[in-house]
Structure 1
Amino acid sequence: MSRSTADSASSVPLPTPKERRRLREALALSEEEVAEAMGVTRATVRSWETGRSAPRGRKREAYAKLLGTPGPTDLVRPEAEPPAEPRAQAQEHSQQPQPQPQPQASAAGNVRPRAAVKRAAKPPRAPSPAPAISPGPARKGPSKPPERLRPVAAEAPAEPAAPAEPAAPAGPAQPPALTPEEAFDALYAYAAPGLVHQTYLLTGRRRLSREAVEYAFHHAWQRWPEVAVDADPVGWVRATAYEYALSPWHRFRRAHRHPDAPPTEANRRALLGALLELPPSYRRTVLLYDGLGLDLPETAAETEASTPAAANRLLHARAVLGRRIPELAEPEALHRCLSALVAEAPTATLLPARAVRAGSERRTRGWTRAVLGVTAALIVVTGFTAATAPTRYIPVNAPGEAVDGVPVRGGPQKLSPEDLELRDKLRAEPNPGPERLVPAVG
């Protein structure tokens, strides 16, 4: 593969991670089938759908065709002019009736993984609806999140018309392009108050909810080139805030060890208490689906779970809430109650967007300086050690030292009275002859 071909394959546009998952489920393909067709593992396909990584080269082009995204050859198709001699034959051949293409199989589940790549070059079929939750009717309300903010891109200036043609009437003036600071401020003003209220419903702690939203917007400003082109910037910030707020490490902090005082209204107090008794993943799933109105694939993608797992979590959460509050046993009643609770006007006081941007930049500078300082200290210590370390081994002979004090008591043990008597007898009666060794009788 030449360099130009590799560059064109690497520049194939791919849908967003959530859209990749939705398109795969619309084609009735599992992660194992896509992994087998692409020649990768299931974990790699999951990382593509969660946004942790992206395919490259020929795998990127094949993955785009598998999902139905046009590749570089589909975007521009220059038509080559046929030669002059066979042009007449081509015209006669075009006048003949062409055979109609055979319709594709309607059942997407019968498509084999190897045939999926071949079928990807053809136009994709209309996506099938998301799987519905079995107990209870389907929820009513918006199936998509609220209107998303996107920075308005400046359009390229139109080429001047030819002098012979009359000039076209000028259309309405386009709004000026937003600077990164203005786009971030607009996103913060639009989404921050509601996210603080949603995070409070998840944790029951007002201070922690404000801290989580500020943390999420700090990271959003640090990765603003990525967030600005995201199809759902509010969802990007919401996922970061939820992850931070539901972290289990906050239970070791004294300020966030216990939830705040419950509200005075009996209905809200009962619902908030029942929500806090659910596991964090179940709590987050029911809030996204029944509170914000996301559909099941989007809820599963944001919680980084499979669609069946998200459906089971939702069913379990509904069952627990129905047992705690009998009035909310029906899915429609729970959806109306949670939607009204999420749609309440937030009352939290937040920092201005400029302060959040300044705090993010200050934190980035602080971490950068700390890393540079530690790196410089390690370099200095390593250099000093290398300069002062000996180049060869020098044995050390310890000089002799005088020992002071009384030495340790040694020698034989203390004599018994019989030994003392025998010693005195031997001293009193010296006998140098051999008779000394003969014991006396009686």
Structure 2
Amino acid sequence: MTTQNQLPPPNERRRLRRPGSLTADQKTSERAGSGTGQGGPAPLTPAQAFDALYAFCAPALVRQTYLLTGRRELAREAVERAFQLAWQRWPEVAVDRDPGGWVRAVAYDCALSPWHRFRPRHRSPEPPPADPADRALLHALLGLPPSYRRTLVLYDGVGLDLPETAAETEASTPAAASRLTHAREALAARLPELADPAELHRRLLELASAERLCAARPPTVRVGGERRNVFWTRAAIAFTVTIIGATTLTLRTAPTRYEAPLAPAQAVQGVPPPGVMGPLSQEEQALRAKLRKAAAKGPERLVPEAG
């Protein structure tokens, strides 16, 4: 089965990736990079360039992440975390060929992290969409494996071509095509009206646009990321100081030579019980009385006399 023959040609993919869809990366890159040529306005500061990237990419990324997770708060949190990491590594992100794609990949990784299942706030399900058709589509999407879901959103939702989808999902092109084909077949089995890729693309746009998903303002994200970095830096310093203090205390109090441990106490066997003194005889009582009456000092105490 040739999966690539079932996919739209490159010109069709470019047509689907139009303004107003689930992506705004190309438009963002052009606006964020404007002003750097000669004769144009002054170059943007790092904060201004970051704010421009966030303002144009964040709303679309929140909608995309909602399709991956089905959770509104988790989608917003994953996108904000991705932009905080982008601001932390801004010298690297600013010179990237596709800054929006860099942030999108990080946001998808954060949203699909398996550790979210252990968080108490994400154990209970969120209210589903009000429209029954949107509810059925979201339920079908969440029933796909995460890798299939991510490939489907990138190709049919965002509008990336197959090599770009494979590169962003860190898979080969045949593997990405196979995932896309199986994801479409699974959705078509549950929702036959979505067998047409164009109809699937339109329904994904409607589902993402129907929810009221908003992102925080760019300065809030930047300040939050900086505070988070300061917190973890201080925590790392405190942990290092604690380890150094514990090591120093151990070196000061540890013995410098080997001391043999004391043997445990054991009961001694075979020793006869001590004898008990019996009553004195008349002769012994008389001798005791004589000794008590005699002077404490004198020759009779040094030279015994014959009785």
**The TM-score by the shorter chain falls in which range?**
0.7 to 0.9
Q: C-alpha distance in 1, partners of 2:213/2:194? A: 28
Aligned partner of residue 6 in structure 2, secondary structure: coil
Given the superposition, is the C-alpha separation of residues 325 and 398 from structure 1 closer, same or farther in structure 2, using an over 3 Å criterion?
Answer: closer
Report the identity percentage: 56
Aligned partner of residue 250 in structure 1, secondary structure: helix
Aligned partner of residue 194 in structure 1, secondary structure: helix
Give, as a single letter, the amino acid of the residue that structure 2 aligns with 1:264.
Answer: A
**Aligned length in residues:** 257
Query: What's the CA shift for 1:250?
Result: 1.3
Q: Which residue of 2 aligns with 1:146?
A: 26
Which one of the candidate residues 353, 364, 383 is aligned to 2:248?
A: 383
Which one of the candidate residues 130, 134, 140 is aligned to 2:5?
A: 134
Q: Could you report, residue by residue, the CA deviation over 1:185-205 in whole angstroms, capped at 9, with x for unpaired residues?
A: 111111111111111111111
Structure 1 stretches lacking a partner, 5+ long: 1-130, 157-172, 409-442
Q: C-alpha distance in 2, partners of 1:335/1:259? A: 26
Query: What's the CA shift for 1:398?
Result: 6.9
Q: Which residue of 2 aligns with 1:166?
A: none
Given the superposition, is the C-alpha separation of residues 186 and 137 from structure 1 closer, same or farther in structure 2, using an over 3 Å criterion?
Answer: closer
Q: Which residue of 2 aligns with 1:369?
A: 234
Q: Does 1:247 align with 2:117?
A: no
Query: What's the CA shift for 1:132?
Result: 7.1
Query: What's the CA shift for 1:259?
Result: 3.5
Which one of the candidate residues 261, 275, 279 is aligned to 2:141?
A: 275
Q: C-alpha distance in 2, partners of 1:289/1:357? A: 30
Query: What's the CA shift for 1:396?
Result: 5.6
Contact 1:203–1:259 (CA under 8 A) maintained in structure 2: no
Q: Could you report, residue by residue, the CA deviation over 1:323-369 in whole angstroms, capped at 9, with x for unpaired residues?
A: 11111112232233334545x37732332211111111111111111
Q: C-alpha distance in 2, partners of 1:204/1:370? A: 33
Alignment of 1:22-421 (within 5 A): 133-135=4-6, 137-138=8-9, 139-140=12-13, 141-142=15-16, 146-149=26-29, 150-152=32-34, 154=36, 173-342=39-208, 344=209, 347-395=212-260
Q: C-alpha distance in 1, partners of 2:64/2:264? A: 76
**Which TM-score applies when normalising by structure 2?**
0.75
Q: C-alpha distance in 1, partners of 2:36/2:7? A: 47
Aligned partner of residue 259 in structure 2, secondary structure: coil
Q: Could you report, residue by residue, the CA deviation over 1:83-127 in whole angstroms, capped at 9, with x for unpaired residues?
A: xxxxxxxxxxxxxxxxxxxxxxxxxxxxxxxxxxxxxxxxxxxxx
Give, as a single letter, the amino acid of the residue that structure 2 aligns with 1:286.
Answer: L
Q: C-alpha distance in 2, partners of 1:197/1:399? A: 71
Give, as a single letter, the amino acid of the residue that structure 1 aligns with 2:158.
Answer: L
Give, as a single letter, the amino acid of the residue that structure 2 aligns with 1:360.
Answer: G
Higher relative contact order (CA 8 A, sep 6+): 2
Q: C-alpha distance in 2, partners of 1:337/1:349? A: 20
Deviates more, 1:385-394 or 1:274-283: 385-394
Q: C-alpha distance in 2, partners of 1:392/1:363? A: 47
Given the superposition, is the C-alpha separation of residues 176 and 362 from structure 1 closer, same or farther in structure 2, using an over 3 Å criterion?
Answer: same
Contact 2:28–2:56 (CA under 8 A) maintained in structure 1: no
Query: What's the CA shift for 1:317?
Result: 0.7
Contact 2:87–2:222 (CA under 8 A) maintained in structure 1: yes
Return the index of the structure with the highest Cα Rg. 2
Given the superposition, is the C-alpha separation of residues 142 and 229 from structure 1 closer, same or farther in structure 2, using an over 3 Å criterion?
Answer: farther
Q: C-alpha distance in 2, partners of 1:298/1:374? A: 42
Given the superposition, is the C-alpha separation of residues 295 and 136 from structure 1 closer, same or farther in structure 2, using an over 3 Å criterion?
Answer: closer
Q: Which residue of 1 aligns with 2:279?
A: none
Query: What's the CA shift for 1:384?
Result: 2.1
Give, as a single letter, the amino acid of the residue that structure 1 aligns with 2:242.
Answer: A
Given the superposition, is the C-alpha separation of residues 301 and 399 from structure 1 closer, same or farther in structure 2, using an over 3 Å criterion?
Answer: closer
Query: What's the CA shift for 1:218?
Result: 1.1
Contact 1:204–1:259 (CA under 8 A) maintained in structure 2: no
Given the superposition, is the C-alpha separation of residues 400 and 286 from structure 1 closer, same or farther in structure 2, using an over 3 Å criterion?
Answer: closer
Given the superposition, is the C-alpha separation of residues 234 and 377 from structure 1 closer, same or farther in structure 2, using an over 3 Å criterion?
Answer: same
Query: What's the CA shift for 1:299?
Result: 0.3
Give, as a single letter, the amino acid of the residue that structure 1 aligns with 2:183.
Answer: A
Given the superposition, is the C-alpha separation of residues 236 and 136 from structure 1 closer, same or farther in structure 2, using an over 3 Å criterion?
Answer: closer
Structure 2 stretches lacking a partner, 5+ long: 19-24, 270-307
Given the superposition, is the C-alpha separation of residues 258 and 270 from structure 1 closer, same or farther in structure 2, using an over 3 Å criterion?
Answer: same
Contact 1:148–1:232 (CA under 8 A) maintained in structure 2: no
Choose between structure 1 and 2: higher helix proportion: 2
**Which TM-score applies when normalising by structure 1?**
0.53
Given the superposition, is the C-alpha separation of residues 345 and 332 from structure 1 closer, same or farther in structure 2, using an over 3 Å criterion?
Answer: closer
Contact 1:290–1:339 (CA under 8 A) maintained in structure 2: no
Q: C-alpha distance in 2, partners of 1:234/1:370? A: 31
